[in-house]
Amino acid sequence: MRMIHSIQEYKEWRNNVSSVAFVPTMGNLHEGHLALVQRAKAEADNVVVSIFVNRLQFGQGEDFDKYPRTLEQDAAKLRDAGVAVLFAPDERELYPNVTQQYHVEPPNLQNELCGVFRPNHFRGVATVVTKLFNIIQADVACFGKKDYQQLTIIQGMVRDLNMPIRIVPVDTGRAADGLALSSRNQYLSEAERTQAPELYQQLKWVVAQLQSGNQHYTALENSVKSTLSSNGWVVDYVEIRESGSLNVARVGDKHLVVLAAARLGNTRLIDNLECHL
């Protein structure tokens, strides 16, 4: 595996290889990231993984400075996984003007769901992903479904801006007890980690209700909120949406996704489950 820190060096490498599959990350890699790498290996001759902690997608009071930087450990995992290139630029390399003057502005979906609680987050995501797409020049990019809103926004951006790249959604990686794999899980206390799979169990219950014909979406959402709140969670949202657009679900929609975000102690967890009727 080759570790590259500069855009110029990467471009020189890219000019001499065939197809590329890309996995953008912020590092602190876990098995969910490595599952994206494995899927990428099936999509192209070369896999490129980026590690860059993107300041633009962190809001006020969020953990940009405390976000774990584990480049050496991450590089070892990627080397073992058969990655061709680890692209790990520093902030000045990716943002040479320090302050980014031009941004990619997603549609109003950016202000819903997680966007209510993380203003400008998805603008920061869309901007850095666009920059990385322009640099990496990949044929395909793999994104996890755990960040379902992010995935939907990226898919729409690629479609609307005619970006020459194919987006491959990859199923959420989960621990044996169902908890969605996330770098944030390491912040959970032992007791919180035992309780954390409850979020997934509640989503499974909603999907079972939908599949049984229950169309009382608001009542289902409120039931999950109440259950989680009574067990000590602080719920940001639980919503049933149409899975393709993330529009609010209407009775008769056949392709749904149940999305939730809630805090357990100081840790904010997100998860979702698709439901096809």
Q: Do the Cβ atoms of 94 and 120 come closer than 8 Å?
A: no
Tell me: the pLDDT tens digits for 31-78? 999 999 999 999 999 999 999 999 999 887 787 888 889 999 999 999
| Secondary element (H or E) of residue 32 | helix 31-41
| Tokens 């790990």 -> residue | 88
Q: Which residues of 136-171 are buried (b: 16+ CB within 10 A; e: fewer)?
A: bebbbbbbbbbbbbbbbbbebbbeeeebebebbebe
Three-state DSSP class for residue 103 = coil
Residues of the chain with CATH 3.40.50.620: 2-170
Q: Give the pLDDT of residue 97.
A: 84
Beta strand extents in the chain (DSSP E only): 2-4, 20-25, 46-51, 85-87, 140-144, 166-170, 234-242, 255-264, 267-276
Band of the pLDDT at 84, cuts 50, 70, 90? very high
Beta strand extents in 73-187 (DSSP E only): 85-87, 140-144, 166-170
Band of the pLDDT at 28, cuts 50, 70, 90? very high
Question: Is 157 marked as binding a ligand?
Answer: no
Catalytic residue among 5, 33, 103, 121: 33
Q: Give the pLDDT of residue 85.
A: 98
Concatenate the DSSP letters of all residues of 212-257 into one string. Answer: TT---HHHHHHHHHHHHHHTT-EEEEEEEEETTT-PBP-TT-SEEE
255 catalytic, yes or no? no
What is the C-alpha to C-alpha distance for residues 117 and 169, in angstroms, rounded to an integer?
24
Question: Is 103 marked as binding a ligand?
Answer: no
Q: Do the Cβ atoms of 106 and 156 come closer than 8 Å?
A: yes
Pairing of strands 234-242, 255-264: antiparallel
pTM of the model: 0.96
Residues of the chain with CATH 3.30.1300.10: 183-272
Question: Is 183 marked as binding a ligand?
Answer: yes
Q: Give the pLDDT of residue 179.
A: 98
Q: Give the pLDDT of residue 62.
A: 81
Tell me: the pLDDT tens digits for 102-159? 999 999 999 999 999 999 999 999 999 999 999 999 999 999 999 999 999 999 999 9
Non-local CB neighbours of 237 within 8 Å, separated by 6+ positions: 113, 116, 259, 260, 261
Q: Do the Cβ atoms of 136 and 14 come closer than 8 Å?
A: yes
Q: Which CATH number is 2-170's, of 3.40.50.620, 3.30.70.3270, 3.40.50.720, 1.10.10.10?
A: 3.40.50.620
Question: Is 181 marked as binding a ligand?
Answer: yes
What is the C-alpha to C-alpha distance for residues 42 and 58, in angstroms, rounded to an integer?
32
Question: Is 150 marked as binding a ligand?
Answer: yes
Question: Is 78 marked as binding a ligand?
Answer: no
What is the C-alpha to C-alpha distance for residues 246 and 114, in angstroms, rounded to an integer?
12
Tell me: the pLDDT tens digits for 227-277? 999 999 999 999 999 999 999 999 999 999 999 999 999 999 999 999 999
Nearest C-alpha neighbor of 258 from the set 270, 235, 241, 244: 241
Q: Give the pLDDT of residue 131.
A: 97
Domain 183-272 is classified in which CATH homologous superfamily?
Pantoate-beta-alanine ligase, C-terminal domain (3.30.1300.10)
What is the sign of the dihedral through the CA atoms of 239, 183, 36 and 211?
negative
Sheet holding 267-276, edge to edge: 234-242, 255-264, 267-276
Three-state DSSP class for residue 173 = coil
Q: Give the pLDDT of residue 219.
A: 98
Question: Is 184 marked as binding a ligand?
Answer: yes
Residue 247 is given by DSSP the state P
Question: Is 190 marked as binding a ligand?
Answer: no
Tell me: the pLDDT tens digits for 157-216? 999 999 999 999 999 999 999 999 999 999 999 999 999 999 999 999 999 999 999 999
What is the C-alpha to C-alpha distance for residues 14 and 3, in angstroms, rounded to an integer?
13
Band of the pLDDT at 82, cuts 50, 70, 90? very high
